């Protein structure tokens, strides 16, 4: 994208692959121009820009490590110059490298908190400066955040997502007078989960009896986009997982 756009602009972090890619495509289909924030998947980012362009929307891929606050600030300065606005930010980066808390490497802890929580905040900070009334931030969480539980495997991830929920609510309360909403969508066991139980065991974990699809998550994002009076909420999209 070379000129400031008058169309709504969505910024999706971790947007080149998997859930983020699906959200980029569905947001483009809804009418957004899309800025795809990614870290290393150059080929996926390039093909996604092409796929969105083929639908008539504009797309631009921005390579940035969201854990680097200076790089994020530069990226949003670039978005200010190129697109001129951010109507929707989806904080989709959520690194999950599960290990027992009894052996949790401090470097893994630091990396998880930096990307999943601090990185999301850096992006909120950059996006909010470019966000008009009617804008929206959607943070991607994980199912079962309500009520603090012992999560002995992936504790760093759980802490990062719990912090993201706290951030969601604080920003929702603070920015509501400016007509900016902040919500969270929390997947459970998606069909591409690294932890997915075998099909014959899925109903032991997920009461509705199947894993979630990427479209299940996109539906929830689109619901929140339509639901203009909903802010500060965390929507589990998980088929009853971790109820
Ligand atoms: N999959 C599930 O079953 C599930 C369940 C519950 C919650 N969720 C949540 O749903 C979201 C998406 O999950 P996913 O499995 O699709 O994600 P993913 O494959 O783990 O990661 C998505 C992308 O995030 C990017 N990324 C990672 N660290 C980054 C950084 N520091 N800076 C910029 N980009 C970075 C990577 O981009 P590059 O490839 O360019 O490096 C990666 O492609 C996450 O928030 C996750 O916690 C997923």
Rounded Cα distance, 9 and 76, in Å: 12
**pLDDT (tens digit, 9 = 90+) per residue, 21-59?**
999 999 999 999 999 999 999 999 999 999 999 999 999
Angle of helix 18-30 versus helix 42-53 axis, rounded to 10: 20
**9-237 classified as CATH 3.40.50.300:** no
Share of the chain above pLDDT 70, in %: 99
pLDDT of 157 > 60? The answer is yes
The CA–CA distances, whole Å, from 26 to 5, 146, 172 equal: 19, 28, 24
pLDDT of 88 > 60? The answer is yes
Output the CA 96–ligand 1 centroid distance in Å: 8
**What average pLDDT score do residues 71-90 get?**
98
Output the CA 204–ligand 1 centroid distance in Å: 26
Question: What is residue 35's predicted lDDT score, i.e. its pLDDT?
Answer: 98
Q: Measured between alpha carbons, how far apart are the two ends of the chain, in Å? A: 43
Token pair 């998997």 in the structure block, residue:
18
Among residues 75, 67, 172, 179, which one has the least CA distance to residue 127? 75
> Known catalytic residue: 157?
yes
Confidence of residue 72 (pLDDT cuts 50, 70, 90): very high
Neighbours of 43 (CB within 10 A): 8
Is the pTM value of this prediction over 0.85?
yes
Spell out the domain ranges in the chain.
9-237
* DSSP assignments along 191-209, one per residue: TT-TTPPPGGGHHHH-TTS
Instruction: Name the active-site residue from 38, 122, 157, 241.
Output: 157
Confidence of residue 4 (pLDDT cuts 50, 70, 90): confident
**pLDDT (tens digit, 9 = 90+) per residue, 161-189?**
999 999 999 999 999 999 999 999 999 99
For the chain, how many residues are written?
Answer: 243
Element at 53 (helix H, strand E): helix 42-53
Rounded Cα distance, 239 and 189, in Å: 9
pLDDT of 200 > 80? The answer is yes
Token pair 């309500």 in the structure block, residue:
146
The finding on whether 20 has its CB within 6 A of some atom of ligand 1 is: yes
Task: Choose the weakest-confidence range: 76-85, 141-150, 177-186, 208-217.
Answer: 141-150
Tokens of 181: 């909403």
What secondary structure letter does DSSP report for 176?
Answer: G
């Amino acid at each position: 994208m070379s000129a400031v756009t008058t169309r709504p602009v969505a910024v999706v972090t971790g947007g080149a692959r998997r859930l983020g890619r699906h959200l980029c495509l569905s947001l483009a289909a809804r009418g957004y121009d899309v800025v795809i924030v990614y870290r290393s998947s150059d080929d996926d980012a390039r093909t996604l820009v092409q796929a969105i362009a083929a639908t008539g929307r504009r797309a631009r891929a921005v390579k940035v490590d969201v854990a680097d606050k200076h790089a994020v600030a530069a990226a949003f300065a670039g978005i200010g110059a190129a697109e001129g606005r951010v109507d929707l930010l989806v904080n989709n980066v959520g690194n999950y490298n599960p290990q027992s808390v009894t052996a949790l490497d401090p470097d893994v802890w630091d990396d998880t908190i930096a990307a999943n929580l601090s990185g999301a905040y850096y992006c909120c900070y950059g996006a909010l400066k470019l966000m008009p009334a009617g804008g929206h931030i959607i943070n991607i969480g994980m199912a079962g955040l309500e009520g603090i539980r012992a999560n002995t495997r992936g504790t760093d991830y759980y802490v990062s997502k719990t912090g993201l929920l706290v951030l969601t609510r604080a920003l929702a309360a603070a920015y509501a007078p400016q007509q900016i909403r902040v919500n969270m969508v929390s997947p459970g066991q998606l069909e591409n989960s690294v932890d997915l139980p075998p099909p014959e065991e899925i109903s032991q974990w997920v009461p509705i009896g199947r894993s979630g699809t990427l479209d299940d998550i996109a539906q929830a994002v689109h619901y929140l986009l339509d639901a203009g009076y909903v802010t500060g909420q965390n929507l589990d999209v998980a088929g009853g997982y971790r109820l």
